[in-house]
Structure 1
C-alpha cells in the first residue's frame, strides 16, 4: 500500500494536540525561575564533526533553555557524511570562536557549559607519541618491559584520531594537557567544568617507569618475584605480589592522572567531572579527586513496576544493568569530601532508538536520586541542524549511535519539560541538603585484589556495567545488599579516606564534617596494617567499630608480610580489649543494640535516601535540622501502609511530580514511636520532611473507595503525524490503535480519544483519581472542556476536582502521543540513506547495523482500563 507523507510537516505540527492543555512547544523557563542551573537536568551535547555554527548554536540553546535544561556538556565526536567542508578542527581558532559563542549564549540563557578534555574517549589523539601512549607489560629476556597497546581514541572528532594516552604517567598527562594551555585556556570564555569519561583504556596495565615506581612504593623489585607475578594458581605469594601490583597501579592512576588533571583544571579556572568507574584503582579515592564525581546509568534496571517495559533485545549478560551499590561509590566519595554535586550519565540504551518513553526514564532517575546522585546529565542530544531533521524535512536528523535522543527531534521533546520540572524539583531539595548516613562501611579492596581478575590485561577494572564480576560476589557487596534491604543508611570508605577520619563526641567525622555513628568492617582476610592501626586509634578515642564475624588476619602485600601480619594480629588482640569494638556474629542485632537508626519499611521494597536540611528555627537555643527523606517505590510489594520513620517530629510530604505539599496522617504506634501513613504506588516517589515539633496525631486510616470503570465506547480521531490522513474510528473497547488498519500501524503522532460518562447515583467526593491504565505513551486530558493535566509516567493517574464533574454527560477527551518507532519502520525502508554517519554510524541495541524495517508495530494509544475513583475522607 502507498502512503501519503507531508515532507514539510514540522515537529511542532506533528505533535500538536487537540486540547489547549497539551504542550505543543516546551514551556519557557527563565534562569530566575530556577534554583540555579544545576538544579535542572543537563545533557550531553555531541558536536558531530564539530560542524557547528553560531546561528544554530543559539537556536538550539534557546530550545534547551525553554525546555528546562540547565546546561550542556559538549563532546566533539565523529561527523556526518556530506558535511566534510563544514568540519571544524578541534581547538582551532574557528573552533574556539564557536565555543566562546556557546558559553556567552549559555550565560545569557542560564545554560551552563561543560567540555570533554579532548574528542571522543579516552584522552588521546594527534600528538600522542609512543612514549606518551597507553602501555601493557610483556616479558623480554626474562624481564618485565613495556609495549604499546596501540589503542586509538574511540569515536574521535575529525582530526582527533590518535593513540590513547598513558593514564598512569603524570608526564604523559602533563604533555597532553599542554595542548589546551595554548588554546582553550587562552579563551576569554571558559567551560564550567572539564570532563573525563569512564575508564575504557583496554588492556593497559603498565607504564614506562612502572618498575621504578613499584620499587619505590612497595620496597622490592617486581622482577625478583616474577614467578609469583606470572603465577595464575593463586598461591600465597602470587596473591600478595598481585595486591602490590594493583596497589601500585591504583596509586599511579591517582597520582599520575586524577590529581594532576584536577590541579591543572583549577589553575585554568575549571572544575572537573570524572567518571572513575572501570579503573583499576579504588573508585572512592578516584571519585574523591574530582570536583564533581560522576557515575553512569546504562541500560534498564529491570524494576518489577507493573506496566514498565524493558527492551527484550537488551543483552544483560553483555552490558549489565545499573546497580545502586555501584552508584554509592560516587556518592560516598562526595559525602566524605563535602562535594555538593554528584552527577550521572543517565539513560544510555534504555531501549532501542525511537523506542524510549518518558515513563521508562523516570524510574532510572529515581534510582539515581535514592543512591545519592543530585546532578543528572541526560545521554544525550546530538547537535542537529534545523535543516537536517523534523520539522523542515522528513528525517530524524543527526543522531548519535547510542540511544536515547532527548533532543528537539525526539518524539517526547514537547513533553520533556514535564520530566525536567520533576527533576528540578527533586534536585533543588537534594542539592540543598546534606547526607545523614549512620554507617561507614570499609571497602576491603585488598580482598578483591586477592582474587583472579576478570578484565582485559589481567587487572581488576571496577566497572559499573558488570558488578557481578567484582562487587556482588565479595562479602563487602553481599553485606551492603543486606544493609540496603534492612533499611540502613551508609557510605563506603577507602583505606586512604579512613586515615582522614577523626573521633568526635557525636561519632566519627569525615573531612567534610559528615558524622557517622559506627564504622563497619565486612568479613575480610587482608587489611593494610596502617588501616587497622587507624581503626584502633579511633576505637580507643570512643568511635564504635563493628567487625562482621571476624577480624582480618593478614596484612596485604608481599614485603615483610609475616612481620606486618603479626602486627595486624596484635592490633586485633588490642581491639578486643576496647569497649567500643564488637566482633559480631549477629550484625543486625548488634546494630540494633547500638541504637543505629533503621528504616524498617525498606524491607517492603521502598528505596530511599535520608538527608538533613538546615534548621529554620531553634529549640532550647540549639538549631535542629529538618530530616528529609526521598522515597521511591521501584518494586511491586508496597502500596499503602503505616510506616515508622526513625526521625521524629512534625511531618509534611511533598510530591515532586505534582509540585504539591501533601498531608500525611500520623499516629503514635508501638513503643510510642510515630507512624506515618504512606500511600505510594509502584513507580511513585515522595519527599517526607520531619521537622522539630510535636506532631498532630490521628488514628484514622484512610479508606479505599470503589473504582468506577469507564466502559463507554470511544471515538478516536488521528491528528497530525506521519503518515498522514489516518481514518477516524470507533472503539467499543480500548485496544492499540495499530490494530485499526495497516496505515495506523505505521502512525506516529497524536490521536484524540473522546467518550461520555455519567457518575453513579449518590457518588460524593471532593476529588477523584483518574487512572488511565496502560498509556502508550503520554496522555493530555480534558474534562468537560477544562484541562486536567498530562499523564506521562507510571502510574498514569491524574487528580480531578469534583467541581469539574457533572452527574450526567461528562465529556472526556484524551490526546495521546506515541513513539516514533512505528513510523521509522516505514521510513527506514523508504529512506535508508538517512544513516550517513562516520565511525560506527547507527547501530541497534545489540550493536548491529540499525534496521527498523523488521520491527513489529509497538502498541500505541490508550490501552486502559480507565477508572475513576472517589477520594474518601
Structure 2
C-alpha cells in the first residue's frame, strides 16, 4: 500500500511538471507566422515576439516557406543546425513572453521534401496490361522553404510516413526546446489515389480481389455494381489514410510529447474520424461568408465559384470531432483571403470569427503574419495570400481591440463543455455512392465548396434545417456510433458527453454493423429518429445480398422498439420527445450552447443577419439570467419575466453584427428585473458642421476643411485619394429640448472607414472598430449645450498602395514585389497590381446620431 501511495504521489508530481501552455495562452488568438526563406535571426525574432505579446497574441505557428529575392545570404536550410538554433531561441523567448509555439512538420505543404524516395512518394493507379498498377504522381511540395523541396509523400503508406518522420527524430526531437504542437495543413495531395500495397490492403479489408471486379471499378455509368465497388474503394482509401498517415503521425508526435493540430478537410476519408485523432482538430475560414449585415463590405473581386465561401456545417465537422472525443480545443485558420491585400478591415473580421464561435470553434489562428526584418521598409516581407495581421498592416495599432474580444470569448468557450442534444449521423457511404468531382476520381471533402459534396446530401440539407430551427447538434460517424453507450440521460460518448437523441438522415446505404449498434442502443432505451424510412441496403460489394438482408432484418427489429421513430417531420418529432430548440434561431440568430461545471448554461449568441428584431425570447433553459458583452467586457442587466407557459422569457436586443453571452444559472428565475435597451429612435442626428484636418499618415498631408456634411475625405483634395493615416473630426452640439443630460445614451457613428477613436467633452469615450459602430455614453457625460465631439478615424492602407505601387514597380530588389515562388498575387491569383484601384472611401461617413437608452419594463 505504501508503494502504491508513493507511486501515485510521484505520478501526480510528474504530471504537474509536464510542460504545457501558460495560463491564458490558448484563450488569446494565435497567428500563423511564415518564415520566408527561414531568413530569421535571434535579435529580430525577439523583437517580433515582443510586439506580438504586447498586442495580445497568445502564440505563433511557424511555417517555413519560400524566400525573398535579395536575401539569399540569410536563408537557413530547414532543420539544419543553424535553423534548429534559431527555432530553439524562438521557443525560449516565447516561454519568457508567455507565447506558445507550434510548428508545421515540414515546409510549405503537403508533407514531403528531400530524401523522399520514389517508393515513398505519392501514387496514382494506372491500368497497365489490364492490371491496376501504382505509378508516381510526381507532385512536389508546394511553396517549400530552402531545404524543404522534394516529392510529396504517400499518405496511404505507413512505411512512407515512418520514413518521412525519421528526419525529425535526428534533428527537431533532439532539442530540449519543443513546440507545443506539430501541424498538418489541409489535405492537398492531388491525383494521389493509390499505394504500392493497395490491392493487398483492399483484399484484406474488403474480402475480395479488386482486380476481379475491374469492370465495375472502371465503370462511370453509375451501375449498381460500380457504385458498390467504388464505395469499397473509398472505404479502403479512408482507412489507409486513417491508419497510415493520421495515426502514424499522431502516435509519433505523442511519443515526442507534442500535441497535434490537424486540418483533416480535403481528405478522401471520413473527416470526423480523421479529426478525432488529433489533439486539436482544425477547420478553416477562407473567403467571406457574405452575411447580410448592413454596412458589411465584401470584396467584389473574390471569385465564389472558384474558391467557395465559409460554411458552418464544414466547421461543425471539426468541432463535432472535438466534442465526441472530449478535446478541449478546436481551432481554425481564420480570415484567409477575406479581401484583397491592404483592403481588409477589422469590421470584416469580427463576423467571420463570430461564425466560427457559433460553430464550436474556440482557438482562433489568424492567417497570418509574415516574418519581416524591422529594417525592411513598408510594406515589409509579405505572404502571397491575404489577410495580413502583422505590425506593418493598417489595423495593427487597433488589433489589440480584436484580440481582447477574442480572448474574452475564448476564455468562456474553452472552460465550458458542449450542451448539445442531438447526434446527427454522417452517412459517408451515400456520399461515396455519388460521382467524385475531385482529381483522381476520389471524393476530397474540402471546406471551400460544401455545396458540391455536402449540401446536396440529405445530411447537409437536414443539418442546415436543424441549425435554422434552433437545434444544437454534433455530427457522428459509424466508428463513433459504435463507441456510444446508454445512460439515464441519453447516449454517452467515451469522453462523457451526453446527447438526448440520435438522428439518422434519409440514407440509402447503411452498414449492417452500425445498424446493429443502433438496435443495441435502442433496446437500452436510446431515442433514435430516422428521417423518412428505415434503411434497406448495405454498402459495398462483398456478400452484398446477404448483408442487405441483415440490414432489412435489423430495420424490422428497430421498427418495433418504442424508442425508435420514423418521421417525415423530424423537427416536430424531436420537439415531442423534449429535445430543446432555441426559437431565436428561426428569427435569424446563430448560437452555441455550452455548460459549465457548476451547471450554468452558457450561450454565445450572434446576429449575423438582418431579420432579428428586439423582443422577448424564450431560452430552452431556465434559471437566473446574466448577459455579458465581450466587446465591452461588461455584464449587462437583462429584463426577465415569467412567460404564459411558465418558462423564463428575457428581452433581447442584438443589432446586426453584435454578439453576446447569456449565462443562465440553476435556480429560480429572478423576474421583476429591468434592463437598459437602446431605443431605435434617434434623439438627435448631428447636423452641425464638422472641422476636419489630416493627421499623421502617408503621404504627408496638411490640409483642413469645414464639412457641412460628412463625406469621404478622398473627395476633399486630389491627393487625399492616396492618403493612408488618420483624419481628425470635431463638432459641437446641444441636446434637444426636453432631453435629459444625465440619462444614458448611445453614439451611433454610422459608416466608419475604418476605426474611430472618440472623445466627448475632452474625455475618451472608446474605440469603434466593428459593426455597428456604436459607443455607450455614461450618465452625466453630456451637457445641455456646448458638447464637443472629437473623432480620429484611421483608414485602409489600400489608398496609399495605389501610389506606392506606381512609385515602386518591378519584381526585383529594390522593388517590394520580390518574393520567390508565387511572389505576390491579388485575390484572383493574378500578379498584384494596385495602380488601377479606385480610391477606397475613407473617414467618418456617418450619419452620426445620438440614440436614447431607456429602461425596458419586465411586465407584460
TM-score (norm 1): 0.94
Q: Which runs of 5+ in 1 are unaligned?
A: 1-32, 390-394, 616-624
Q: Are residues 1:648 and 2:622 paired?
A: yes
Q: Distance in 2 between matches of 1:666 and 1:200?
A: 51
Instruction: Show the counterpart of 1:685.
Output: 659
Q: Distance in 1 between matches of 2:766 and 2:84?
A: 44
1:613-658 alpha-carbon deviations (Å, 9 max, x no partner): 111xxxxxxxxx0000000000001131111000000000000000
Question: Which of 364, 367, 390 is matched with 2:352 structurally?
Answer: 364
Instruction: Show the counterpart of 1:819.
Output: 796
Instruction: Show the counterpart of 1:427.
Output: 410
Query: Any residues of structure 2 matched to 1:135-214 within 5 Å, and which?
Result: 135-214=123-202
Instruction: Show the counterpart of 1:459.
Output: 442
**Aligned residue-pair number:** 828
CA apart distance, 1:91: 0.3
Q: Which has the higher contact order (CA 8 A, sep 6+)?
A: 1
Please tell me whether the aligned partners of residues 250 and 280 of structure 1 are also in contact (alpha carbons under 8 angstroms): yes
CA apart distance, 1:699: 8.4
Q: Distance in 1 between matches of 2:60 and 2:604?
A: 26
Question: Which of 816, 819, 827 is matched with 1:834 structurally?
Answer: 816
Instruction: Show the counterpart of 1:267.
Output: 255
1:708-763 alpha-carbon deviations (Å, 9 max, x no partner): 10001111111110110241111110010001111101000001001110111221
CA apart distance, 1:766: 2.5
Please tell me whether the aligned partners of residues 119 and 160 of structure 1 are also in contact (alpha carbons under 8 angstroms): yes
Q: Distance in 2 between matches of 1:693 and 1:571?
A: 44
SS of 1:379 mapped into structure 2? strand
Query: Any residues of structure 2 matched to 1:515-530 within 5 Å, and which?
Result: 515-530=498-513
CA apart distance, 1:34: 9.0
Please tell me whether the aligned partners of residues 265 and 446 of structure 2 are also in contact (alpha carbons under 8 angstroms): yes
**Aligned in 2, Cα 1:312/1:759: closer, same or farther, shift over 3 Å?**
same
Q: Distance in 2 between matches of 1:581 and 1:220?
A: 35
Q: Distance in 2 between matches of 1:171 and 1:751?
A: 61
CA apart distance, 1:706: 3.8
Q: Distance in 2 between matches of 1:805 and 1:449?
A: 65
Instruction: Show the counterpart of 1:635.
Output: 609
Instruction: Show the counterpart of 2:280.
Output: 292
More displaced 10-residue stretch of structure 1: 700-709 or 733-742: 700-709
CA apart distance, 1:692: 1.2
Question: Which of 104, 107, 124 is matched with 1:116 structurally?
Answer: 104
CA apart distance, 1:707: 2.8
Q: Distance in 2 between matches of 1:698 and 1:242?
A: 63
Q: Distance in 2 between matches of 1:123 and 1:860?
A: 43
SS of 1:301 mapped into structure 2? coil
Q: Distance in 1 between matches of 2:673 and 2:783?
A: 33
SS of 1:484 mapped into structure 2? helix
Please tell me whether the aligned partners of residues 726 and 743 of structure 1 are also in contact (alpha carbons under 8 angstroms): no
Please tell me whether the aligned partners of residues 678 and 851 of structure 2 are also in contact (alpha carbons under 8 angstroms): no
CA apart distance, 1:160: 1.1
CA apart distance, 1:703: 7.6
**Aligned in 2, Cα 1:607/1:601: closer, same or farther, shift over 3 Å?**
same
Q: Are residues 1:664 and 2:638 paired?
A: yes
Q: Are residues 1:742 and 2:718 paired?
A: yes
Q: Distance in 2 between matches of 1:563 and 1:506?
A: 36
CA apart distance, 1:185: 0.2
SS of 2:792 mapped into structure 1? strand
What is the RMSD computed on CA atoms of the aligned residues?
1.2
SS of 2:841 mapped into structure 1? coil
Q: Distance in 2 between matches of 1:213 and 1:227?
A: 20
1:171-217 alpha-carbon deviations (Å, 9 max, x no partner): 00000000000000001100000000000001110011000000000
Please tell me whether the aligned partners of residues 54 and 101 of structure 1 are also in contact (alpha carbons under 8 angstroms): yes
Q: Are residues 1:445 and 2:419 paired?
A: no
SS of 1:670 mapped into structure 2? coil
Instruction: Show the counterpart of 1:582.
Output: 565
In the TM superposition, structure 1's runs of 4+ consecutive aligned residues that sit over 3 Å from their partners are 698-703
Q: Are residues 1:74 and 2:59 paired?
A: no
CA apart distance, 1:421: 0.2
Q: Are residues 1:809 and 2:792 paired?
A: no
Q: Are residues 1:281 and 2:255 paired?
A: no
Question: Which of 748, 752, 759 is matched with 2:728 structurally?
Answer: 752
More displaced 10-residue stretch of structure 1: 367-376 or 802-811: 802-811
Instruction: Show the counterpart of 2:827.
Output: 845
Please tell me whether the aligned partners of residues 35 and 428 of structure 1 are also in contact (alpha carbons under 8 angstroms): no
Q: Distance in 1 between matches of 2:643 and 2:102?
A: 50
CA apart distance, 1:225: 0.3
Please tell me whether the aligned partners of residues 100 and 180 of structure 2 are also in contact (alpha carbons under 8 angstroms): yes
CA apart distance, 1:870: 2.2
Q: Distance in 2 between matches of 1:627 and 1:703?
A: 26
Please tell me whether the aligned partners of residues 726 and 744 of structure 1 are also in contact (alpha carbons under 8 angstroms): no
Instruction: Show the counterpart of 2:737.
Output: 761
CA apart distance, 1:589: 1.3
SS of 1:139 mapped into structure 2? strand
Q: Distance in 1 between matches of 2:192 and 2:384?
A: 26
Instruction: Show the counterpart of 1:786.
Output: 763
1:372-402 alpha-carbon deviations (Å, 9 max, x no partner): 000000000000000003xxxxx20000000
Q: Are residues 1:510 and 2:503 paired?
A: no
Please tell me whether the aligned partners of residues 638 and 674 of structure 2 are also in contact (alpha carbons under 8 angstroms): no
Q: Distance in 2 between matches of 1:662 and 1:703?
A: 13
Instruction: Show the counterpart of 1:499.
Output: 482
CA apart distance, 1:802: 3.1
CA apart distance, 1:700: 6.8
Instruction: Show the counterpart of 1:231.
Output: 219
Instruction: Show the counterpart of 1:867.
Output: 849
Question: Which of 750, 766, 771 is matched with 1:773 structurally?
Answer: 750
SS of 1:842 mapped into structure 2? coil
Q: Distance in 2 between matches of 1:482 and 1:561?
A: 33
Q: Distance in 1 between matches of 2:767 and 2:144?
A: 40
Q: Are residues 1:45 and 2:33 paired?
A: yes
Question: Which of 428, 436, 440 is matched with 2:419 structurally?
Answer: 436
Q: Distance in 2 between matches of 1:543 and 1:712?
A: 67
Q: Distance in 2 between matches of 1:786 and 1:700?
A: 29
SS of 2:645 mapped into structure 1? helix
Instruction: Show the counterpart of 2:858.
Output: none
CA apart distance, 1:284: 0.1
Question: Which of 570, 575, 579 is matched with 1:596 structurally?
Answer: 579
CA apart distance, 1:810: 0.9
Q: Distance in 2 between matches of 1:479 and 1:209?
A: 39
CA apart distance, 1:783: 0.8
**Aligned in 2, Cα 1:478/1:132: closer, same or farther, shift over 3 Å?**
same
Please tell me whether the aligned partners of residues 773 and 863 of structure 1 are also in contact (alpha carbons under 8 angstroms): yes
1:214-245 alpha-carbon deviations (Å, 9 max, x no partner): 00000000000000000000000000000000
Q: Distance in 1 between matches of 2:614 and 2:152?
A: 53
CA apart distance, 1:804: 1.7
Please tell me whether the aligned partners of residues 34 and 40 of structure 1 are also in contact (alpha carbons under 8 angstroms): no
**Aligned in 2, Cα 1:427/1:699: closer, same or farther, shift over 3 Å?**
closer
Q: Distance in 1 between matches of 2:587 and 2:683?
A: 25
Please tell me whether the aligned partners of residues 141 and 152 of structure 2 are also in contact (alpha carbons under 8 angstroms): yes
Q: Are residues 1:253 and 2:241 paired?
A: yes
Instruction: Show the counterpart of 2:11.
Output: none
Q: Distance in 1 between matches of 2:268 and 2:48?
A: 39
Q: Distance in 2 between matches of 1:256 and 1:430?
A: 33
Q: Distance in 1 between matches of 2:522 and 2:168?
A: 48
Instruction: Show the counterpart of 1:727.
Output: 703
Instruction: Show the counterpart of 1:694.
Output: 668
Query: Any residues of structure 2 matched to 1:461-480 within 5 Å, and which?
Result: 461-480=444-463
1:482-502 alpha-carbon deviations (Å, 9 max, x no partner): 100100000010001110000
1:665-717 alpha-carbon deviations (Å, 9 max, x no partner): 01111311111100100000000000012222238795835431000111111
Q: Distance in 1 between matches of 2:454 and 2:718?
A: 49
